[in-house]
Amino acid sequence: MNTKQELIARLESAFPGAKDTIAAILADYRITRETGREGDLRKRITAFLAAKKIDGLSQKTLKNYREMLGAFAAQADKPAARITADDVREYIGYLANDRGLKDSSINTHINTLRSFFGWLDSEDLIKRNPTRKIKSLKIDRAKSRRPLTQEQLERLRDGCRSYREKALVEFLVSSGCRLGEIVGLRADAVDWQGRSVVVLGKGNKERTVYFSVRAKLMLQEYLAQRKGGDALFASSRAPYEPMQARGVERILQQIGERAGEARRVHPHLLRHTFASNALNAGMDITIIQHLLGHTDPKTTLIYAELAPRTVKYEYERVVS
């Protein structure tokens, strides 16, 4: 229950039967408490972000935490110590019904709140963690991770309208790069003869990734036609700065919509498709692990999905 709802409830107790009238009068007003604890939640969020920065979290993660916790603070509007599990559940309902977020996005918000309130609890700044009994929404992971079929990939290619879009799709689906690894790549860093480029992955670890002949042709045509920029993927407008992560995501989503793909097309989907295609083509799992930049082969198996026909072929090749 937020501050306005609490005020309406208290006024209704003083004026029985007038709840609807009171609510209508206060509908256009934002109600806050004028107490010494005003802004307490935002102060706690600031302290949490500072602690996480010291812990070494990336700027991107800190930015996401700041945005999600700021959105929660705008809705909760009460001191951190007074927030209850019902407040958190009400906020989850707001994310689903008012903002229309998908279950996966809502789970990201829930995990952020768990991290925040877990930190407050460990620092003895609250008596009870309101997220302790909050469960994540169930998501069909297998369905969400399913790679694109060859037919879907061809439709995606048909949905491209420019050489930049074609180059982006071909590079991602043939290299298996993460979104953060392609943003800011310089065109002069590419080894065109070897069809490779060194990227900076998680943990600031460098690795060499490779791309297909088709990706090479699309990239070269794109670079020859564009007006400027040093990045491999640059903005189409002056001063032709490197494309940002959200710009790449937006372009892929638009391509997917044109192609009639029911799912949202995003860089990770193309990364999954690369891994599965490589595995189905017979590439050793340890090589795929290296190309994806995974330290644990179990992670690679999550990304790669074997087609039933490949399983049958390998069985008959070895056993029959």
One digit per residue, the tens of pLDDT, for the chain of length 320 reads 566 677 777 777 767 777 777 777 767 666 655 444 447 899 999 999 998 888 888 888 889 899 999 999 988 878 999 999 999 999 999 998 888 888 888 889 999 999 999 999 998 999 999 998 888 887 655 555 688 889 999 999 999 999 999 999 999 999 999 998 999 899 999 999 999 999 988 878 899 999 999 999 999 999 999 988 899 999 888 888 999 988 999 999 999 999 988 888 999 999 989 988 888 888 888 898 899 988 887 778 776 666 666 666 665 666 75
Q: Are 186 and 230 in contact (CB under 8 A)?
A: yes
Q: What is the secondary structure of 20-59 as a DSSP string?
A: HHHHHHHTT------STTTTHHHHHHHHHHHHHHHTT--H
Query: Residue 303 has what pLDDT?
Result: 67
pLDDT at 10: 74
Reduce the DSSP state of residue 83 to 3 states and report it: coil
User: Is the CATH number 3.90.550.10 carried by domain 32-138?
Assistant: no
Residues present in the chain in total: 320
Is 290 a residue of the active site?
no
Which residue reads 């193309």 in tokens? 270
303 is catalytic: yes
- Rounded to the nearest 10°, the torsion over CA 89, 94, 100, 101 is -50
Please give the Cα distance from 261 to 98 (Å, whole number): 25
pLDDT at 27: 72
The answer to whether residue 210 is catalytic is no
Type of residue numbered 89: R
Catalytic annotation, pick one of 99, 161, 202, 312? 202
Q: What is the pLDDT of residue 29?
A: 66
Coil, helix or strand at residue 12:
helix
Q: Is the pTM of this model over 0.75?
A: no
Domain 144-318 adopts which CATH fold? hpI Integrase; Chain A (1.10.443)
* CB-CB contact of 273 with 171 (8 Å): no
Domain with CATH 1.10.150.130 in the chain: 32-138
* Residue 190 buriedness (CB in 10 A; 0-12 / 13-18 / 19+): buried
Three-state secondary structure call for residue 299: helix
Q: Is 226 labeled as catalytic in the residue annotation?
A: no
Give ranges for CATH 1.10.443.10 in the chain: 144-318
pLDDT of amino acid 217: 97
pLDDT of residue 30: 63
Catalytic residue among 109, 164, 216, 294: 294
Using CA atoms of 232, 236, 237, 242 in order, give the dihedral in degrees to the nearest 10. -30
Strands of the chain, DSSP E: 196-200, 206-210
Cα 241 to Cα 19: distance, rounded to the nearest angstrom: 55
Residue found under tokens 């060499």: 208
> Of residues 52, 78, 109, 178, which has the active-site annotation?
178
**H or E element in which residue 90 lies:** helix 85-97
And the tokens for 190? Answer: 């590419």
The pLDDT of residue 37 is: 44
Cβ(225)–Cβ(179) under 8 Å? Answer: no
| Known active-site residue 268 | yes
**So what's the pLDDT on residue 36?**
41
**Does the active-site annotation cover 133?**
no
Name the packing angle between helices 40-54 and 103-122 (round to 10°): 90
Return the pLDDT at 273: 92
CA pair distance 243, 229, nearest whole angstrom? 10
